[in-house]
Structure 1
Amino acid sequence: MTALIDSLRETGRPILIPYVTGGVTENWMDHVHAAVHAGADAVEIGIPFSDPVIDGPVIQAASVQALERGTTPDTVLRDLASYRGAVPLVVMTYYNLVHRYGHDAFARRLADVGVTGAVLADLPIEESAEWTETADASGVATVQIAAPSTPDGRLAEVCERSRGFVYAMGVMGVTGERAVLADSACAIARRAKAVTDKPVLVGVGVSTPENAATVAEHADGVIIGAPVMRRIAEGGSVRELVGRFRVALGG
């Protein structure tokens, strides 16, 4: 197994992974450390891309802000070298950036700065073997995404090919806060749990601590992105927000 999956399995509690867009502010690493101090079990770092496919308005705005500040994959990874937390880091980005960087170079660079997982949101499993093998060799776990619409046979394959955990999308569509938790969030968690013993984490549409607690009855944990990035945009406390999710999830 991978270092990422081992770390998540050892938590003994529902897993909480907040998301922070790299380079969104000059002090963006402070938000990463605040999330860790508030009880995050890992932190997902977004490497901004100009043409995202699953990012909603809040995270898109954060990516635009980061890009306008001159953020690049190299500047994000440079800043991650200053990470002082004890929980794993997972990057989330799009395959075009990895292709241009080069598989070997990108995987080695992630490993060099202590990143143990990667989510490439637009890389389908049919085209992922070359990257996944390269990432495996560097100790970087490739996390695959399962959507509510994923057929049962393909879902089993997605779970089989996923390394550190399975990223289950709570709703079809883009990331963002929603007033009501979709039934599909719990449904995809149950379906994935039925075909894998890897941690199944639900992201997209988990907007409140109450949502997170409900989802955790069916999944191994949650990923929260838009609520965190809205809090950063509004100048609020990431530590306080993540702490409320931590309390709701227990542990």
Structure 2
Amino acid sequence: MSRLQTRFDELNQQNRAALVTFVTAGDPDYATSLAILKGLPEAGADVIELGMPFTDPMADGPAIQLANIRALAARQNLTKTLQMVREFREGNQTTPLVLMGYFNPIHKYGVERFVADARDAGVDGLIVVDLPPEHNPDLCHPAQAAGIDFIRLTTPTSDDKRLPTVLEGSSGFVYYVSVAGVTGAGSATLEHIEQAVARLKRHTALPVCIGFGIRTPEHAATVARLADGVVVGSALVDRIASAGSTDEAVEGVLDLCRELSAGVRGARQ
């Protein structure tokens, strides 16, 4: 059983949603990013998404675009990102870790080599936003053959005709993008989220996690009452951008993570 399945099964038994946190690898530098990554589980993150820096993150809004720029300026690359996962795994063998990003760096690294190195480093899943199901043989199938979950994004425009195609071969969880637009955009109404979760549940037995636009503990708690997981990224990345020092960046992210975790954990009580 994968770490993701184990974690969601545990949380289901506890009748609570997962807090899924996103940060960009190497933002603002390797050492600070690694300190944040290592601190997230104790601060309440149930699942971690680690962004693979890329020069053209077209699905991301300004906050994460700037995080990519900072990381690349600090010479972060895919080799260092996988090394970061290995160092994280030295002290944590239970928290699921998902790499999120775009296909170009993986293609350049080499798919076969990447899948093998990601598996050996301790990666549990992949979210590759620019690879639709029609390209499953390019990465999805090799990843899953190696035991790495391939997580699909679904959107408000994924209708009932398209959803079976999008979800075919998905594993780990389903990431529902709650607003049409880029990361950090405005948030969806609760009615919309409730309807979306119900519709996705008709198509898949996988956990459904909601992201894009969730920034506060109160908002996270509200979504946690409806979905299996709450994804927060831009709000955490903003803490890094606004920090006056690397120590402040670490504490800023972990403090917000604790607040979000408290909201998610208390949501169904």
- Structures share a fold, TM > 0.5? yes
SS at match of 2:41: helix
Task: State the AA in 2 paired with 1:55.
Answer: D
Gaps of 5+ in 1: none
1:21 matched residue in structure 2: 24
1:117 matched residue in structure 2: 125
1:250 matched residue in structure 2: 265
TM-superposed deviation, 1:182: 3.6
**For residues 188 and 31 of structure 1, what CA distance do their matches in structure 2 show?**
32
Aligned counterparts, 1:160-239, within 5 A: 160-176=168-184, 178=186, 181-183=188-190, 184-235=192-243, 236=248, 237-239=252-254
Deviations 1:1-41 (A, max 9, x none): 64422332222321111001001123101111222111111
TM-superposed deviation, 1:181: 4.2
TM-superposed deviation, 1:177: 5.3
SS at match of 1:248: helix
Q: Which of 216, 240, 256 is 1:241 aligned to?
A: 256
Task: State the AA in 2 paired with 1:58.
Answer: A
User: Could you tell me the percent identity over the aligned residues?
Assistant: 36
SS at match of 2:206: coil
SS at match of 1:43: strand
Deviations 1:178-225 (A, max 9, x none): 4x5445444322321222111100111112112212222221011110
2:63 matched residue in structure 1: 58
Q: Which of 83, 87, 101 is 1:93 aligned to?
A: 101
Mapped contact 2:167–2:204 kept (Cα < 8 A): yes
TM-superposed deviation, 1:69: 1.0
Mapped contact 1:167–1:201 kept (Cα < 8 A): yes
Q: Which of 26, 35, 40 is 1:30 aligned to?
A: 35
Gaps of 5+ in 2: none
TM-score, L = length of structure 1: 0.93
1:10 matched residue in structure 2: 10
Change (3 A) 1:32 1:186: farther
TM-score, L = length of structure 2: 0.87
Mapped contact 1:206–1:212 kept (Cα < 8 A): yes
Mapped contact 2:173–2:209 kept (Cα < 8 A): yes
Q: How many residues align?
A: 250
TM-superposed deviation, 1:89: 0.6
TM-superposed deviation, 1:73: 0.5
Change (3 A) 1:17 1:196: same
TM-superposed deviation, 1:233: 1.6
